[in-house]
Chains A and B, each alone.
Chain A
Amino acid sequence: MGFSELKGLSFVRFLQEKLIISLALLFVINLSTICFSYSQSSEINEYGLPDFKLTGLDGDQIQNKDLIGKVVVIDFWATWCAPCIKSFPAMIEVQNSFASNENVIFLYVNTLEFEGRDEEFIMRFLEKKGIDVTVYLDQAKSNSELLSERLGISTLPYKMIIDKSGVIRYSETGYLGSHDEFINDLQDKINSLLEL
């Protein structure tokens, strides 16, 4: 178990690698007419994340520039996702262990939520579960895609760690293994990025 390492690969390079492998495959089997309609395009900035601006349940707003120079742990979750809720205590424990370090930020991003589950619902939900964290809302505005969709996320929980230069270094889907394993693994990853 543990976060899979992206080894300093920016999201752009990640997509480039996917494209190169696909092109190589196409060449090998000699198909001349190929449709790339399923390929994903996403506007990626220098930080490895698409441009975004999220609003928290407390009204606070956060965007890419606020993350510069910080190690950021983003936890994409939804109220319907039981494993997401199950992972909260471990996440909060890790967050508390870095409470005195202002260079580490934890973002709990509510995404892919059921229609009708609005801010009020989510606040009541968190209160009922006894979860005290600042949650940011990834909600579609007009025709724009969700941040999670732009990142190609369709599996929850989805956690990622971004280094101080904005590069996505680690990502993890699901909540597998034990509580302690998860905590140790996440703390190790954060510490390794703080040392860079």
Chain B
Amino acid sequence: MKSSKFIWIALFWMGLIGKQSQSDPLFFELPIQIKESFEKSKIGELMEEGFIAPISIELISNSGKPLFYESNVKTTVCDDEICEIMYIKLYWDLVGEYVGYDSIAKHPLTKFDHEPFTKSDYGRLHELLKNDGSILKFKQKSQLIDKERVKASDVVDGTTGATLLEIKEEVVEGALYSSYTLWHLAYNGSIKNMIRANTESMLDEQLISHLLDSDRSGYKLFAFHNFKENDFIKYKQYWLKSLKEDMPLTRKYILKNIPEKLWFNYKVQDQVCGLFGFYDVNTRTYLLSKLEETNDVSILSLEYVSKSLVEMNSNQTSQFLELLKGSEKLTERTKNNIMKASENKGFKYSYLIDEYNFLN
């Protein structure tokens, strides 16, 4: 056992396990090459249960351009028999999402019984830390193991043996409490709030453009959340692109927050409805409801939506047909789309169309 421990430690020293160089973190999801020349500025401190000392959250910038946040954490991890001090550097993006971690020189991560992490353990840890919906979110530390099985266990690693099955998938084997502690650090609400408040305080035209140009959906949503009314006009192409490509949450936020004076512009309605075919089911329903609440809907918008009639569910079909009924005029193409849907044998709600008299 002892000699295998030395081998792991030696491999760690050699860089075969763990970090490859001083500047490259073990795991880092952002497309940024970290350089020694980057500036660091402390944005705040946090003291939580388990920390040996308050941790500093630092903003990393390059020539004044904010890039990401990091923190060196020194925290305690305990089970019933042993406690350990864990040293790690965590990274978050500009909106407080976990993006990676790094080990600290001289302090490799270890499992129970002080066994160092293997290369695959390090990778596994990053994968589980990336999962913001982990079951660990809903568990107290005391709920991680089956106490009865610990009592019954006669093996050395009683904790691993008794780890609840649903938890096992979400942790590094043999490092239950370290995994749990790190996940809760990566998604620590106080840290996230501190980061978001700091990024918000720095928001200017340049930073908003940077966030909107990013591939990170969290960046775009954060920018939209911080839009002033005129920003919807200024950055129209960005939010239209997000409507087409981003996650449902972002789409719904945009549709909900388009300023009225912009929404009542037919051209804007047409652009939004022209993307109907790209939307997920929830965004489609939300848009149809929004159109229902809109007194003055562009007939071209209705035409665009009518192209997707055969893909609608029962409620959406009824909603849309009501919209058409309320419209004073329909384009020939709209009528044509309705007729095609009505005759489409694969469209199981075609009978709903027959209840209306659009085609005469």
A and B, one complex?
yes
Q: CA of A35 to CA of B11 in the docked complex: distance in angstroms?
A: 11
Tell me whether B85 and A174 are in contact (CB under 8 A). Answer: no
A34 contacts the other chain (CB 8 A): yes
Known contacts A22-B6, A25-B7, A39-B13; decide if A114 and B53 are in contact (CB<8 Å).
Answer: yes
Tell me whether B14 and A156 are in contact (CB under 8 A). Answer: no
A80 contacts the other chain (CB 8 A): yes
Known contacts A114-B53, A155-B114; decide if A37 and B105 are in contact (CB<8 Å).
Answer: yes
Known contacts A35-B15, A80-B76; decide if A156 and B82 are in contact (CB<8 Å).
Answer: yes
- Which single member of A25, A26, A38, A81 contacts B83 (CB below 8 Å)? A81
B155-169 vs A: 1/0 string, CB under 8 Å?
010000000000000
Q: How many residues of B contact A (CB 8 A)?
A: 30
Contacts of A25 in B (CB 8 A): 7, 10-11, 14
Q: CA of A21 to CA of B7 in the docked complex: distance in angstroms?
A: 8
A31 contacts the other chain (CB 8 A): yes
Q: How many residues of A contact B (CB 8 A)?
A: 32
Tell me whether A112 and B10 are in contact (CB under 8 A). Answer: no
Tell me whether A22 and B81 are in contact (CB under 8 A). Answer: no
Tell me whether B80 and A18 are in contact (CB under 8 A). Answer: no
B2-14 vs A: 1/0 string, CB under 8 Å?
0100110111111
Beta-carbon contacts under 8 Å, B17-67 to A? 47, 50-54
Residue from B12, B13, B87 having most chain A Cβ neighbours under 10 A: B13
Q: Which residue of chain A has the shortest Cβ distance to B11 in the bound complex?
A: A25
A99 contacts the other chain (CB 8 A): no
Known contacts A38-B105, A38-B106, A114-B51; decide if A83 and B83 are in contact (CB<8 Å).
Answer: yes
Tell me whether A155 and B82 are in contact (CB under 8 A). Answer: yes
Q: CA of A81 to CA of B7 in the docked complex: distance in angstroms?
A: 29
Contacts of B54 in A (CB 8 A): 115
Tell me whether B81 and A175 are in contact (CB under 8 A). Answer: yes
- Which single member of B7, B12, B82, B107 contacts A175 (CB below 8 Å)? B82
A35 to chain B, nearest CB (A): 7
A154 contacts the other chain (CB 8 A): yes
Beta-carbon contacts under 8 Å, A80-135 to B? 80-84, 112-115
B148 to chain A, nearest CB (A): 19
A38 to chain B, nearest CB (A): 5
Beta-carbon contacts under 8 Å, A48-107 to B? 78, 80-84
A44 contacts the other chain (CB 8 A): no
B78 contacts the other chain (CB 8 A): yes
B311 contacts the other chain (CB 8 A): no
Q: CA of A34 to CA of B82 in the docked complex: distance in angstroms?
A: 33
Known contacts A37-B105, A155-B82; decide if A21 and B3 are in contact (CB<8 Å).
Answer: yes
B84 contacts the other chain (CB 8 A): yes
B residues with a Cβ closer than 8 A to A are: 3, 6-7, 9-15, 47, 50-54, 76, 78, 80-85, 87, 105-107, 114, 156
10 residue pairs of the A-B complex, CB under 8 angstroms, read A18-B6, A25-B7, A26-B14, A37-B105, A38-B12, A38-B105, A82-B80, A112-B52, A113-B52, A176-B156
